[in-house]
Amino acid sequence: MESLIGSKPDESTQYINDDTIEGAITLMNKIGYLIDEKIEKMNKENSDPKTKEEKKAKNEKTIKEFTDIYKKFEDIGYDNNEKFPDISLRVKILIKNMLDNKLGGW
């Protein structure tokens, strides 16, 4: 997923285009609920005082990675052709719809 949308700060945006973004959107629409369930489970684990610090650190890293992916979708979807001029309006609308689906619980 990270390579489809270039969610890591050091990754180049040269491979981000309508096709890769649309593929990532399709994937998120199919498995997004699983990712959200996993994040919720990790947050619960982290709030449990019995959870080992090593496990908490791993959970935090994973949560940050997923958060970065969602943030990248938002950056692309709400861009005014400044950072992502090659992404079509149609794909930006697909991103917004996917984010709305996420807010609605998939």
Overall average pLDDT of the 42-61 stretch: 97
| Structural domain for 7, as ranges | 2-103
Structure tokens at 13: 């945006």
Task: Examine the pLDDT at 58 and tell me if it is beyond 80.
Answer: yes
pLDDT tens-place string over residues 12-47: 566 789 999 999 999 999 999 999 999 999 999 999
The answer to whether 73 and 5 are in contact (CB under 8 A) is yes
Cα(36)–Cα(54) distance, rounded to whole angstroms? 22
pLDDT (0 to 100) of residue 26:
97
Ranges of H-type helices in the chain: 2-5, 18-47, 53-77, 89-103
Q: How many domains does the chain have?
A: 1
Overall average pLDDT of the 61-81 stretch: 95
- pLDDT-derived band of residue 1, with 50, 70 and 90 as boundaries? low
